[in-house]
């Protein structure tokens, strides 16, 4: 599937993430390209940089990486459920509670990168195995109707949003 979702396939408050997703390319190809860039970015950091926060109340780079991994797991699961035609409402989650409970700062940056890569490989395999028809199936996440392709774009756009923040606020 290479067509970005149309308005009405997702909650309006997610529009900012949708706009970050490239217009061209299949979701698996876009995610693979994005993954290579993200891997290079994180692998180029030192352990000290992994603990950096640009403000006291903000997440560290390690926490952001852990958040991206958790989000990838959750959003890929949603894509799976939606693409299989499961219309069971799927709950939201509080990303701050997840980050606070995970203890990402106690992990080495190398371990967090390993988890991120393993999770992403699974997501890439899932995206490559979804049929064109299945991308348009609808369900409900976090109290809002959504299609599988919109959920996939949320995954992509969400990560791009955070990678942009890392480049703008953490690596300057």
- Helix/strand/coil (H, E, C) string of the chain? CCCCCCCCCCCHHHHHHHHHCCCCCCHHHHHHHHHHHHHHHHHCCCHHHHCCCCCCCCCCHHHHHHHHHHHHHHHHHHHHHHHCCCCCCECCCCHHHHHHHHCHHHCCHHHHHHHHHHHHHHHHHHHHCCCCCHHHCEEEECCEEEEHHHHHHHHHHHHHHHHHHHHHHHCC
Does position 42 have pLDDT exceeding 60, yes or no?
A: yes
How many C-beta atoms lie closer than 10 Å to residue 63's C-beta? 23
Q: What CA–CA distances, in Å, run from 62 to 22, 111, 130, 169?
A: 27, 10, 31, 14
Does position 23 have pLDDT exceeding 90, yes or no?
A: no
Domain ranges in the chain are 12-170
pLDDT band at 2 (very low <50, low <70, confident <90, very high): low
Q: Could you give the CA distance from residue 20 to residue 22 in angstroms, rounded to a whole number?
A: 6
Does position 67 have pLDDT exceeding 60, yes or no?
A: yes
pLDDT band at 131 (very low <50, low <70, confident <90, very high): very high
Does position 133 have pLDDT exceeding 60, yes or no?
A: yes
How many C-beta atoms lie closer than 10 Å to residue 74's C-beta? 18
pLDDT band at 29 (very low <50, low <70, confident <90, very high): confident
Average pLDDT (123-144) is: 95
User: Lowest-pLDDT range, 76-85, 103-112, 120-129, 163-172?
Assistant: 163-172
Which CATH entry fits the domain spanning 12-170: 3.40.50.11030, 1.10.287.10, 3.30.70.100, 1.20.120.450?
A: 1.20.120.450
pLDDT band at 7 (very low <50, low <70, confident <90, very high): confident
Average pLDDT (135-159) is: 96
User: Cα-flanking dihedrals φ and ψ of residue 140, to 5°?
Assistant: -140, 125
């Amino acid at each position: 599937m290479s067509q970005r979702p149309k308005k009405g396939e997702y909650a309006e408050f997610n529009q900012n993430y949708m706009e970050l997703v490239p217009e061209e390319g299949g979701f698996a190809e876009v995610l693979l390209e994005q993954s290579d860039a993200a891997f290079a970015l994180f692998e180029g950091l030192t352990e000290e940089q992994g603990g950096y926060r640009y403000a006291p109340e903000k997440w560290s780079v390690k926490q952001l990486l852990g958040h991206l991994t958790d989000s990838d797991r959750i959003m890929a699961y949603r894509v799976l459920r939606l693409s299989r035609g499961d219309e069971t409402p799927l709950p939201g989650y509080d990303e701050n509670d997840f980050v606070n409970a995970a203890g990402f700062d106690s992990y080495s940056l190398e371990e967090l990168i390993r988890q991120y890569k393993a999770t992403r490989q699974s997501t890439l395999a899932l995206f490559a195995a979804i049929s064109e028809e299945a991308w348009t199936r609808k369900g409900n996440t976090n109290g809002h109707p959504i299609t599988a392709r919109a959920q996939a774009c949320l995954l992509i756009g969400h990560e791009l949003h955070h990678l942009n923040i890392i480049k703008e606020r953490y690596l300057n």
